[in-house]
Structure 1
Amino acid sequence: MLCKRIIPCLDVTDGRVVKGVNFVDLQDVGDPVAIAKQYNLAGADELVFLDITATHEQRRTMIDVVERTAAEVFIPLTVGGGITSVAEMKAMLQAGADKISLNSAALKTPELIREGAEKFGSQCIVVAIDAKKENGHWDVYAGGGRIATGRNVIDWVKEVEALGAGELLVTSMDQDGTKDGYDIALLEAITAAVAIPVIASGGCGNAQHIVDVFEQTTVDAALAASIFHYGEVSVAEVKTAMAANGVAVRNL
């Protein structure tokens, strides 16, 4: 049985980690490098950094954050937000990222997924998908959840897989920040549609929610932010709960 991964997510803007509810009302929660070090020591399996207000100037800030983090943290690091070219992927990977997350850029130019996979390997390319339920099905949103694309989520994940993506990071906009639990139905539908690994995101409020998503779906990893950032539960406590429920874990 493959071990399931626990992945804290750090939303970064202007070089600081922030957290909001339903993609709005952002609050500063700390320095990304210091927080990443804490998670590394706490037993997190991977980390995700998302530059949520990426501009040219902030891209330089983000590269600096990645460089400083990679010098002190030795678990896989995925970086995303505003990356629109193979050259920008290369810059982040050279700064110390292990994987690149594409979202709006992949929707605008799907061929970027193939180009990145061919250049750096599929294992480096994570496609992030912000999904919201509309009229009985899930639609894909771009621009940090601000722009409805009209794309059906299931159609998009199949296309992404065919283009060479190595992993999906699926965020339920309906659940994001609510702490009511992951969107099980959404995740079940996506994992049934693709064979590549899926990371669950959006809605985690406690350790049981993480146990639930692993017991009720075939996702490969669970991502959470606020419960870890605010010390409501530790990575170790989550892994202990997983193991107690028969979920295979790493580094318990």
Structure 2
Amino acid sequence: MTAFAPDWLYLREPADAAARATELLDPLAGFLPAEYVVRDLGCGTGSLGRWLAARLPGEQHWILHDHDTDLLAHAAAALPATALDGSPVDVVTEQADVTALRAADLDGTSLVTASALLDLLTKAEVAALASAIVGAGCAALLMLSVTGRVELSPADPLDASLSAAFNAHQRRLAGGRRLLGPTAVDVAATAFGRLGATVLRAESAWRLGPDQAELQRQWLEGWVGAAVEQLPELRPAADVYLQRRFEMAAAGELHAVVHHGDLLVLPPSGEVAA
């Protein structure tokens, strides 16, 4: 699994929070019991837990999963202490490979969460995760998976080529694993649907304006860097493009919409709240 620096994860957290699909929370809350266990897969610095715990009622017991012990320490220290209705929230951490989870590992869990994770998995890993979640009777809230669409304003002739190369990079073969990248939301929705689960989808786009120049800059650097890694012949034009975009960001002239998708999965026996 890919490692991410805490500074990057903290920088993107406000954009993530603004993008997350709040319309999925009411149906989720209607499924959850008064006291429940949440397992957050690939938790990073805990941004999803910080966003979600205070937006759901009920006594919550969070188990944070990540392979990175430093990120787990960051995450465990910063979850809210109380839920939406004032119920207590507690947290423990578990260093684990989230791709190895099976239904038995989720025993006693009501909700599985993940953010920016599905696109880093393979089709087989998503199928296994869906099987584990549905087999355990859990709900799942799977947020901020990239869908491959980027809108930049003002537009540039190189935007489309860079976007196509970036999306190809997201679907690359990595360590013998073919990553899903922008197809992850569709693949996951199909996998859960085939198992009889109820699947609700929502858009969750980053909308980056002039007040987010540093996030724009770091996102652009990663976006263009991945595109060039995938298609090295783009480098000469991409270097000039990147400098031009950096100058626009610094001047407050750049707007970016980076599209993501969110999924809420309810088990076959669950009912969607009206």
TM-score between both structures, scaled by the size of structure 1: 0.35
Which structure is higher in RCO with an 8 Å CA cutoff and minimum separation 6?
2
Name the structure with the higher helix share.
2
